[in-house]
Chains A and B, each alone.
Chain A
Amino acid sequence: MTAPNGAGEVLRALHGLERDGRSGVLRVGDVGSFEVADGAVVHAECRYTAGDWAEPIALFDAACFLLGVEGAPRFTEGPVSRGAARPVTAATLACELRRRRDLLDAEWPSADVDAAPVVPVRRVRRQRVFLTGLQAEILLNADGRRTPAELARDLGRTVFGCLLSVRGLAAASLVRAVRPGAPAERREPSREPSRDLFDGGMPRDGWAPADHQLLERLRAALVEL
C-alpha cells in the first residue's frame, strides 16, 4: 500500500508457494513475515501492526502492508505452528490489496503521504474542520518524524486505518509529507536504536525519547550562527 507499484515480488513469491503447496515462513525485509501452511497464508505480522486485533483484521492489515514493501522476500521451509483457522490465498490478498488501494485513492489520489513522515500544516485555510477521532489522534501526534505506519504502531491502530485517515487529512490540506532529503532523513523507520540506548523507550513522564539527529542538526545550525 505504501509503495504504489510494489506488491510485485512478495505477491509473486506467495503465488509460487501456493502453487507448490509449501509450508514455512516468508520474511519481507526486516519489516515482517508471512506464515504459510500448505501454500495458504495462515498468519502475517509486521512491526507496525499491533497484534491484538481480531485475527482477520490483523492478518490483512499486516499482509497488505508487507505486500507493498520493496525487496526480495526470503523463504524458510519448515512446519508452522499456527492453526489455519481461516487460511487466505494469494489471490484473495491481491484482491484485498487492490480494494484497499482503491479506497485510499478515493480518499486522496496521491500516495505521497503514505510512506513519508507527516506534519500538520501551519495555516488551516478553512473556517471549520470536521475530523474523525483517529484523524485527530494523528494530527496530535504527527511530528514530522514518524510515518503513518509508525504512528499506527504507536497509537495501537491498524496501518490501513491510519493511511486512510492521513489521506483524508491530506485531502483536507491539514497535513503534508516531509520531503525526504530536506533534513537528514532516515528512511529506516523506527526509534528502536534510541530505545536500546536508553533502556526504557518512553520515559516515565510521557515525553518521547530525544531525537539525536534533530539535536545534532540544531547544534550545527546554532554553531553556524
Chain B
Amino acid sequence: MRIDDCLARMMAIPGAQRVTLVDCASGLAVASAGRDDRVDQHEDAAGATDVVRAVLGSAALSATPDGDDVEEIIVCGSAGYHLLALTGPDLDGHLFVHLVVDREKGNLALARLRMQGLVREMAVR
C-alpha cells in the first residue's frame, strides 16, 4: 500500500482530524493528511518526536525490567486525543504515525484498533 493511500485510510477513522507520518530519528514529517491549520507541521513532528524519544529512552515507562516494545503513546486532552503509533521492527522502528482524534466525534478504542491494523499493513507494504 502506498503511503498516501495508507494516510487516507487513517483519515477515515471516525473523528480523525490530522495524521502525520514522522521519521523517529530526525523528527522529519514524511507525509501528512487532514486538517492543516497548525503553525508548522515540521515543528509539530519534531515536538512529537521528542515525546517518543523520551518514552523510548526511559526505563521507568517500560512494563518489564528489561524493557518491552512501546507500541503506542496516547495523550488525552480535553478536546481530543493524540495517538502516536510506532511502527514495529518491520519498518526498523524508525517511523511513527501521529493521529489527532476529535474527542466528541472520535472513539479512542476504535481509533487504536484501526490504527494497529493499518500500521501493520504499512509495515508489510
Contact = CB atoms under 8 A, between A and B. Distances in A.
Nearest to A161: B25
Interface size class of A (residues with CB under 8 A): 20 to 34
B27 interface: yes
A94 to B, nearest CB: 14
Interface in A52-86: 54, 56-57, 60-61
B28 A60 contact: yes
Interface string B19-53: 00101111110110000000000000010000000
| Most B Cβ at <10 Å: residue of A60, A96, A103, A156 | A103
Contacts, number: 48
- Of B24, B25, B30, B59, chain A has the most CB atoms within 10 Å of the CB of B25
B5 interface: no
A207 interface: no
A61 B24 CA distance: 13
A103 to B, nearest CB: 7
Say which size band chain B's interface belongs to. Answer: 20 to 34
Q: Which of A54, A60, A128 has the most CB of B within 10 A?
A: A54
B94 A103 contact: no
Interface of A: 54, 56-57, 60-61, 96, 99-100, 103, 128, 130, 132-134, 156-158, 160-161, 164, 168
Given A54-B31, A158-B23, A168-B57, 16 more contacts: A54-B23, A57-B28, A60-B26, A60-B28, A100-B26, A103-B27, A128-B59, A130-B58, A130-B59, A132-B56, A133-B89, A133-B93, A157-B25, A160-B25, A161-B25, A161-B26
